[in-house]
Amino acid sequence: MGTLKIHNNKEIGERIKFRRQDIQMSQEKLAEILEVSYQQVQRYESGKNAINVERIQQVANALGVRVSYFFEESSEPIAADPSGYFISSDVKVLLRHFSKVTGKAAREFVITAARLAAKKNE
């Protein structure tokens, strides 16, 4: 698990929005679960309104994540538990393209290239 840190309202809101969209939940549905207006959900997601501790627990429950999801330092995905971690847009793009690669040799080539690039950065 990554280090916990205090994020600003905008970062927390972005994570709420990302997770909500990831599970294909509408703002209206989340609002219904939280017993607030969809406009209030919009304000949370945009960072215009702060979220208190009780509300963030309700949001975490509604979105099926731990509260720590909103405070993780790392944006690295964890393959064993993808529902609880934020995935950066670069990783999403990479996964989308990789999923379209067919053929064992081509996939192994991409994986090898990624490993070599990662080792070069160490």
Report if pTM > 0.75: no
Tokens standing for 32? 């219904």
Task: Report the domain count for the chain.
Answer: 2
15 and 52 assigned to the same domain: yes
70 and 12 assigned to the same domain: yes
Domain around 28: 1-87
Q: What is the DSSP string of 37-72?
A: -HHHHHHHHHTSS---HHHHHHHHHHHT--GGGGGB
Residue among 78, 72, 36 nearest 55 (CA)? 36
53 and 77 assigned to the same domain: yes
What pLDDT is attached to residue 74? Answer: 47
43 and 60 assigned to the same domain: yes
pLDDT per residue, tens digit, the chain (122 aa), is 445 556 688 889 989 998 898 888 999 999 999 999 999 999 999 999 999 999 999 999 999 888 888 887 644 433 334 455 556 667 777 877 888 888 888 889 988 998 898 888 76
What pLDDT is attached to residue 16? Answer: 93
What pLDDT is attached to residue 88? Answer: 64
Residue 91 DSSP SS3: helix
